[in-house]
């Protein structure tokens, strides 16, 4: 991947002959544009209608960012990342209240001891489990997410006010931990988060596991702490949201506990994988529902040639608890073909079919493929996209 690299070389020596530290800044980004068809989509006129639309980020969210480092000597570096997501269709930020809405952190990294960073960052589920699921990779992405992205493997939200540690590679083993502060006096747990993860690579085998917990992220006697660890929203009010149309489930819940693990095995040009995740949420939506989501994903990738990659996944999701009007469960089939023009540019075609049953009176009782602007009017929904991605 070619990048614009601005490097300040150590060229000026002091009178004692000691050179100044070397530093660098990298400008990078990704643009994902597509044309998407969706059936049964609810609209303002009522009922379900087919929809043809231009979309941004069908596979990977469109973004740009700055990444930099300064060599401090003895294997120690100062590092930073500032990353902003945007909507290619209209050029707007993907978040109305943030410039660097995806990541914004600064810290220190060492070859021997790992990295310690502070700011807005990703959690252990995103870092350690998502790369083993097609929703967390370039081979599936946004629409392949588990229903409502209930386990955050598609990186629907990041953690504010966070301190994060990632270990160096220790013979294939890596570990990490994160803590996101509530930043509220007298309410230390009101909208805090913590997370950890582990991964291990042994030959063709790649294993990862992660845990994420959000505490009092919305429903507390004092109300939502809008300066806390999780505050992502595209709507005007978290407290007023009636359904998952506005925000991730965990933001609306009084608590969320998510665990996940996955494994990939590579044989020749193929990669087979399995991912399991479990999310327990208390009092999500205004109706105060509580329950669990269990996701079982089997996925497969095959490099047909150096330029053509095929991928597919099947996900079964079931719920438990007082889901209301019958406990829903989902079946989802996803497939994608990708053609690389170069290392930086590729075209793709993908599709997802989702079915939920039973519907009952639950607000979760209709199909809704992740990344689609409105749910289906029925228990079924189909999405198909043809698109182009470019990295810089």
Mean pLDDT of 194-216: 95
| Model pLDDT for residues 69-79, shown as the tens digit of each residue | 999 999 999 99
Range of the domain at 349: 4-8+21-391
User: Is residue 47 included in any domain, yes or no?
Assistant: yes
Provide the domain count of the chain. 1
Is the per-residue pLDDT at 278 higher than 80? yes
Q: Find the mean pLDDT for residues 306-323.
A: 89
Is 57 inside any structural domain? yes
15 assigned to some structural domain? no
The terminus-to-terminus CA distance of the chain in angstroms comes to: 7
CA distance 179 to 213: 10
d(CA 350, CA 340): 15
Examine the pLDDT at 111 and tell me if it is beyond 60: yes
d(CA 279, CA 149): 10
Higher-confidence residue of 279 and 249: namely: 279
Give residue 359's pLDDT: 56
pLDDT per residue over 113-128, tens digit each? 999 999 999 999 999 9
- Of residues 189 and 205, more confidence is placed in 205
Q: How many separate helices (H) and strands (E) can be counted in the chain?
A: 2, 18
16 found inside a domain: no
Q: Is 13 part of any domain?
A: no
Inside any domain, residue 215:
yes
Burial class, 120, CB count within 10 angstroms (exposed 0-12 / middle 13-18 / buried 19+)? buried
Domain at 59, CATH number: 2.40.160.10
Residue 234 carries which DSSP code? S
Look at residue 370 and tell me if it is in a domain.
yes
At residue 252, the 3 state secondary structure works out as helix
Q: Kindly state the DSSP code that residue 244 receives in the 8-state scheme.
A: T
Which of 124-133, 246-255, 374-383 is least confident?
246-255
């Amino acid at each position: 991947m070619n990048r614009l690299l601005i490097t300040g070389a150590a060229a000026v020596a002091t009178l004692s002959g000691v050179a100044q530290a070397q530093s660098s800044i990298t400008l990078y980004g990704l643009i994902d544009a597509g044309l998407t068809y969706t059936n049964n989509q609810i609209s303002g006129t009522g009922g379900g209608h087919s929809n043809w639309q231009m979309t941004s980020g069908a596979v990977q969210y469109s973004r740009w960012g700055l990444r930099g480092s300064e060599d401090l000597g003895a294997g120690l570096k100062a590092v930073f990342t500032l990353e902003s997501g945007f909507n290619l269709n209209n050029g707007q930020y993907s978040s109305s209240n943030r410039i660097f809405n995806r990541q914004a952190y600064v810290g220190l990294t060492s070859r021997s001891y790992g990295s310690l960073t502070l700011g807005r960052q990703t959690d252990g589920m995103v870092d350690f489990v998502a790369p083993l699921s097609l929703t967390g990779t370039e081979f599936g992405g946004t629409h392949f997410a588990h229903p409502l992205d209930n386990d955050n493997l598609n990186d629907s939200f990041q953690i504010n006010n966070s301190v994060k540690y990632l270990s160096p590679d220790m013979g294939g083993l890596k570990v990490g931990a994160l803590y996101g502060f509530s930043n509220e006096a007298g309410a230390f747990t009101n909208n805090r988060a913590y997370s950890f993860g582990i991964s291990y690579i042994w030959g063709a085998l790649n294993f990862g596991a992660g845990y994420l917990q959000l505490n009092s992220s919305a429903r507390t006697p004092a109300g939502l702490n809008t300066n806390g660890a999780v505050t992502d929203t595209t709507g005007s009010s978290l407290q007023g949201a009636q359904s998952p149309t506005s925000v991730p489930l965990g933001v609306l819940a009084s608590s969320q506990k998510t665990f996940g693990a996955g494994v990939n095995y590579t044989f020749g040009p193929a990669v087979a994988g399995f991912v399991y995740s479990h999310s327990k949420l208390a009092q999500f939506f205004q109706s105060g529902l509580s329950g669990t989501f269990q996701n079982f994903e089997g996925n497969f990738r095959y490099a047909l040639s150096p330029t053509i990659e095929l991928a597919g996944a099947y996900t079964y999701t079931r719920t438990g608890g007082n889901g209301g009007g019958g406990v829903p469960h989902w079946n989802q089939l996803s497939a994608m073909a990708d053609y690389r023009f170069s290392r930086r540019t590729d075209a793709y075609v993908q599709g997802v079919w989702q079915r939920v049953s039973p519907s009952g009176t639950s607000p979760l009782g209709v199909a809704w493929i992740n990344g689609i602007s409105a749910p289906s009017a029925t228990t079924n929904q189909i999405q198909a996209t043809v698109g182009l991605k470019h990295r810089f």
